[in-house]
Amino acid sequence: MPRTHTFQAPKGTRDFLPADLAVRRHVENAWRAVSVNHGFDEIDGPTFEHLDLYTVKSGEGIVSELFSFRRAGGDVDYALRPEFTPTLARMYASAARTLPKPTRWFCIPSFFRAERPQRGRLREFFQWNADVIGDETARADAEVIAVTVGVLQRLGLGPDAIRVKVNHRSEVEEALDHLAVPEEQRPEAYRLLDARAKLNPDKFRARAAEIGIPDIDGLLGWIDARADVPDRCRPLWDALAERDLLDWCDFQRSIVRGIAYYTGLVFEVHETSGKERAVAGGGRYDTLVEMFGGPPTPAVGIAMGDVVLRLVLEDHGLLGDAATYLPAPAVFVISGIKEGADPVPRIVAELRSHGLHVRASDRASRNIGKQLGEAGKARARLAVILGDELTAGKATVKDLASGEQSEVALDALAEHVAAALSK
């Protein structure tokens, strides 16, 4: 008897059994279909990158949030990708000359963060990214917001449930200028303002003082004040209006994003109840492609992870019974024949060879009623029933929705089934 071990998935990662995977595919299919409809082309990069792809722009501080490693006997440091933008900037930089202007890319890979797992945050997660590269106008910003809204809409969310909150880094930048916050502290200032809701007020204030932000109360008062759309965001608002998106969007100064590389538009997607973390976030990063060796290239993008999105969809009752996302068979083959060779495998193989999704019972029972029950549970469209008429070279085809049935010669079975399915 072999030695017995009990194993679980690593902390913060997930096993996807069929029903779970079907829900994941439902979300991924929405991401993919809407991205394609909006003219984005799918790409992908390696699951791990050279570690310095991440440290070069974020400093060594980011290393503790990464899973990093070397090959046994190797001397190169790698890290599991924590986000896609550095990979995208690297890929664009090395192919820039051959790419259209603008380039619209999307991807749906998995990402990794060595953080403590909590509600909405796991160590491995799936994330959709969509980016427009090589267009500095508000049109590109609006296209990124449009594809984001398209995804939310396709998954059943409306502007009552979810908002796109938009800001421009320059708005806050001017306030920080006014307060004479040192240039080199700006990335930390954004990181702090971004983390505000998660920190207790004393800790927040102490950190603000460390960074050298004077009059933090004045700054927060200004940030939280109701603000009209500023002139610098007017072209974006016009472009959003053209796309019928104003219903979904709010201008809000408190949105700054914590990531260092944003240069203009920043935005986040939030559920209106405030119960969950941000569903998505993005912005403009006009210097990153150049930093990775490419030509000066404006760019703007969005990222939406699967973990918070699934929570929000569940909160709103937008994920039905997981089993309904499983692919439904076209045909379920049923046999009542108790003697002689089992005719099912041959018929199943024949129908599958025509590209059909075909299943049959795995139970020994030859009770036709029970097998019809199994076919219904699997949500099959048709049943092919093999009974006494098989000796005459015939089978019965039954439409499981209408109950309609007819006897068909075996050599016309595939043709008859195809016709019944196309009804």
18 binds a second copy (CB under 8 A): yes
Contacting residue, 255, 265, 278, 358, with a second copy by CB under 8 A: 358
45 binds a second copy (CB under 8 A): yes
Contacting residue, 28, 83, 124, 276, with a second copy by CB under 8 A: 124
Question: Could you tell me if 418 and 384 are in contact, meaning their C-beta atoms sit under 8 angstroms apart?
Answer: no
Choose the stretch contacting a second copy; rule: CB under 8 A; options: 204-212, 273-281, 284-292, 413-421.
284-292
21 binds a second copy (CB under 8 A): yes
150 binds a second copy (CB under 8 A): yes
Q: Annotate 292-334 with DSSP letters as a single string.
A: TTS----EEEEEEEHHHHHHHHHHTT-S--GGGGSPPPSEEEE
65 vs 86: CA distance, rounded Å: 15
273 binds a second copy (CB under 8 A): no
Length of the chain: 423
310 vs 50: CA distance, rounded Å: 31
β-strand pairing of 299-305 with 280-284: antiparallel
Least distance between a second copy and beta carbon 19 (Å): 9
Task: Give 255 or 299: the residue with its C-beta nearer to a second copy.
Answer: 299
Q: Residue 5's Cα: distance from chain center in Å?
A: 34
Task: Give 48 or 222: the residue with its C-beta nearer to a second copy.
Answer: 48
326 binds a second copy (CB under 8 A): yes
3-state secondary structure of 376: helix
Question: Could you tell me if 254 and 154 are in contact, meaning their C-beta atoms sit under 8 angstroms apart?
Answer: no
169 binds a second copy (CB under 8 A): no
419 binds a second copy (CB under 8 A): no
Question: Could you tell me if 395 and 377 are in contact, meaning their C-beta atoms sit under 8 angstroms apart?
Answer: no
Residue with tokens 């399915």: 421
Task: Give 90 or 163: the residue with its C-beta nearer to a second copy.
Answer: 90
Least distance between a second copy and beta carbon 396 (Å): 21
337 binds a second copy (CB under 8 A): no
24 binds a second copy (CB under 8 A): yes
Neighbours of 151 (CB within 10 A): 26
260 binds a second copy (CB under 8 A): no
Neighbours of 347 (CB within 10 A): 23
21 vs 34: CA distance, rounded Å: 20
Least distance between a second copy and beta carbon 205 (Å): 28
Contacting residue, 214, 221, 320, 345, with a second copy by CB under 8 A: 345
137 binds a second copy (CB under 8 A): no
42 binds a second copy (CB under 8 A): yes
Least distance between a second copy and beta carbon 196 (Å): 26
